[in-house]
Amino acid sequence: MKTWNTPAWRAGDWRGWLDDHGSLTRRLQAICPRLRVRRLSQRIASPYPDECAPLHLARGQRALIRDVLLICGDTPLVFAHSVIPLPGLDGPWAALSRLGNRPLGAALFANPKVRRFPLEYRQLDARHPLYRPAIAHLGEAPRRMWMRRSQFALAGHPLLVTEVFLPAVRAHPAPDSRGLK
């Protein structure tokens, strides 16, 4: 399986979306003021194999996994997949299990104590387990899409957020390098 060390410059015109270090939710709200979040699933399960190491989880260890779509009108723009190890749900991330259809990004960027680690990037294709849920709500499935992930930590408890940029995002100008906080 490919690793998560693809340089952002290789993404070409997707780079502005991938390499923006501000809140993706805010960026999307700037282009779509009526942006909404649709929670697709939230469950306790084992993370995918490539998610275990960054979260210091053993294979088979369970976590809260949340999948959402960020939608403009009826058009899905981003598929987001979050993984929160269970000890964090008893600690600083407890409120995140009750987000419902509210954006996770708003909660993360509102707390100045939350630390964000460097972004990682790669292309997503049918070989990765996130491909199927990412394309499930698209009319026509692209062969490849770009995604990024970032680890966040609060009081020593990590969580991992992966964002898959769906084809409709291309209709909007990519953010500049300054980023919104």
> What pLDDT is attached to residue 174?
67
Domain boundaries in the chain? Answer: 8-170
pLDDT tens across 93-104, in order?
988 888 888 888
Model confidence over 103-121: pLDDT tens digits?
888 888 888 999 999 999 9
Give the chain's residues under pLDDT 50.
1, 177-181
CB atoms within 10 A of CB 175: 21
H helices within the chain, ranges in order?
15-18, 24-31, 49-55, 86-89, 104-110, 131-135
The DSSP letter of residue 5 is B
**pTM of this prediction?**
0.90
CA dist., res. 14 & res. 147, Å (int): 10
Whole-number Å distance between alpha carbons of 70 and 47: 21
What pLDDT shows up at residue 100?
Answer: 82
Q: What CATH number should be reported for the domain whose range is 8-170?
A: 3.40.1410.10
